[in-house]
Structure 1
Amino acid sequence: MSDPAEMMRRRRAVHGWLLLSPALILLATFAFAPSAMTVWTSLFSRGTRRRPSEFVGLETYQRLFDDPAFWTVAWNNLLYAAVTIPVSMALALTMALWANARMPARGFLRTAYFTPTMLPMIAAANLWLFFYTPGFGVLDQLVTGLGFASVNWLGQPETALWAICAVTIWKEAGFFMIFYLAALQTIPPDLEEAASIEGASRLAYTRRVVLPLLAPTTLFIAVNATINSVKLIDHLFILTKGGPSDASKLMLYYIWENAFAFFDAPAAAAATVLVLAALGGLAAFQFRVADRRIHY
């Protein structure tokens, strides 16, 4: 005769697996299986009708490491992330602090900050394309109106990537502001009153009280901003297509180009595996190191 406690334990285990099964099926179908297929594809050569694909091991990865364009794109993406992530987060925090203050037309201010987020990236890129167009663009009109020479913002290597960064910051800051604004509204007002009674300045209150309490939200935004710095390429198709001379090409555009323009699926798969490995390592660092310093 079976033990009732053992039967209850098995029944709970079955119920638990049944509850987890929808998420596990979705993850296996759309995350684990594609990732495994990508790793498998990266280990084979590029196949043609006359030469079928062959197992080559890590040769595709070596070919990537020997390609100067790969390192140019990797550096572009690192610079792009190093600029867009902290600037957009700092701007989002500043906007959230301002939008959370007691002031007239606060609702209009929040709407104005969030409006760029509601635009599709393609629409935002077309809007900024008008700003950047030499000769009659808004920025060019301002520059020439101040007596400076006309600048082809998207057509020269020195400014193309910075122009792409500006579009991303403008688009992302309003989205991150919503999370900061929601977190600010969970801070009890008693803390501000106590700090005021103790004689703390506004800056000291923000630095000593507000920022530590916003640390979990900051970590969440940092993770999302890091992912966005790799996955956002819509504006590249409209603004620069990775040019000039790969000056504004980012990693996901490089992967797309190899897969669908050059039909080199193994190279695209190998680059994808490297990106996933880098993101996985960065996520592990963020959650194992940074998460331990955060108080929830």
Structure 2
Amino acid sequence: MGRAAPAAAGFGAVQAWLLLLPALVLLLAFTHGPAVATLIDSFRSTPKGSRPPVWVGLENYQAMVEDPVFWKAVTNNLWFAGATIPLSIGLALLMALWVNERIAGRALVRMAYFTPTVLPMIAVANIWLFFYTPQYGLLEQLTGALGLPSHNWLGNQSTALACVTVVAVWKEAGFFMIFYLAALQTLNPSLREAAAIEGASRWYFFRRVQWPLLMPTTLFVLVNAVINGFRMVDHIFILTRGGPDNASTLLLYHLYEVGFKFWDTAYAAAITVVLVLVLATVALFQFFVLDKRVHYR
């Protein structure tokens, strides 16, 4: 018996590692391996023809610091994320609170709110491209009916980024609404009944009861919203291609252009490393700082 127990334990450990092996192989091959390779490539030059890459140290990062298009993309991305994150989360919460009530056609309203989420991003971008088309688009038809002058929404530097932001909020709000709706449905109905007996208003009930209990969901949604705010590329590619004059260029689209249009893979690797480090820092701040303010039940 004494020898059988360690043998059984050893066999169980081997069996557990064998079960984990496929997932480990996939992680190493498609996540950790490429990440390490990208980090190494960011310190080397771009291979050209038969010339292999050579070690250049921090030259790619120095070129990034001196690149005005990179800083323009950073500024645009900060404005984009600063608008899409609160707007999409706030709109998602309002929609969830609305469809959680007993309203007529509640199922249809929920489906309408969630529909943009299931549409492919390229399809969404093409739909909104029709809305923004000068003279013929839906938005132009509405403004023309009001007697307003025609406007090239995607071709103007002052409105291009704002138009892309509207599309992103419309696309993401329905996705975040599902999480808030699920969280609202798990709340004890007796809380609302007790608040009604005490004469609490809906706003007071939301601020003092619902919102604190929704904080775990808000933290999860916030993490996803921040990631989405820095990975936008599909809509930019269809709607504006970063124009006019880089007015709507975001970091990931700039990365795409550097790596696949100008074929400067080493510089693109350096941008990737910086972007990953920024997102990792924000995620760690959210989990280790904001998580302390979240009350779990």
Q: TM-score range by the shorter chain?
A: over 0.9
Aligned to 1:226: 226
What is the Cα deviation at residue 144 of structure 1? 2.6
Aligned positions of 1:20-99 closer than 5 A:
20-49=20-49, 51-99=51-99
Determine if the alignment matches structure 1 residue 141 to structure 2 residue 141.
yes
CA offsets per residue over residues 15-47 of structure 1, 9 Å max, x none?
Answer: 543443333222111110010010111111122
2:8 & 2:213 partners in 1: Cα distance?
Answer: 42
1:93 & 1:18 partners in 2: Cα distance?
Answer: 43
Aligned positions of 1:151-166 closer than 5 A:
151-166=151-166
2:20 & 2:283 partners in 1: Cα distance?
Answer: 23
SS at match of 1:53: coil
CA offsets per residue over residues 48-104 of structure 1, 9 Å max, x none?
Answer: 236432100111011011101000001111111110011001000000000000111
Amino acid paired to 1:249: T
How has the CA–CA distance of structure 1 residues 33 and 169 changed in structure 2, closer, same or farther, with 3 Å as cutoff?
same
Aligned positions of 1:270-285 closer than 5 A:
270-285=270-285
Amino acid paired to 2:158: E
Alignment length, in residue pairs?
Answer: 296
1:290 & 1:158 partners in 2: Cα distance?
Answer: 34
Amino acid paired to 2:251: M
Aligned to 1:111: 111
SS at match of 2:47: coil
SS at match of 1:185: helix
How has the CA–CA distance of structure 1 residues 62 and 93 changed in structure 2, closer, same or farther, with 3 Å as cutoff?
same
2:19 & 2:214 partners in 1: Cα distance?
Answer: 33
Aligned to 1:209: 209
2:61 & 2:9 partners in 1: Cα distance?
Answer: 48
Aligned to 2:131: 131
The two structures have a TM-score, normalised by structure 1, of 0.95
2:213 & 2:161 partners in 1: Cα distance?
Answer: 34
What is the Cα deviation at residue 155 of structure 1? 0.2
Aligned to 1:286: 286
What is the Cα deviation at residue 4 of structure 1? 6.8
Unpaired runs of 5+ in structure 1?
none
Amino acid paired to 1:156: N
Aligned to 2:171: 171
% identity of equivalent residues: 54
1:133 & 1:271 partners in 2: Cα distance?
Answer: 33
Aligned to 2:266: 266
Aligned to 2:17: 17
Deviates more, 1:221-230 or 1:182-191: 221-230
Unpaired runs of 5+ in structure 2?
none
1:139 & 1:11 partners in 2: Cα distance?
Answer: 67
* Cα RMSD for the two superposed structures: 1.7
2:56 & 2:2 partners in 1: Cα distance?
Answer: 55
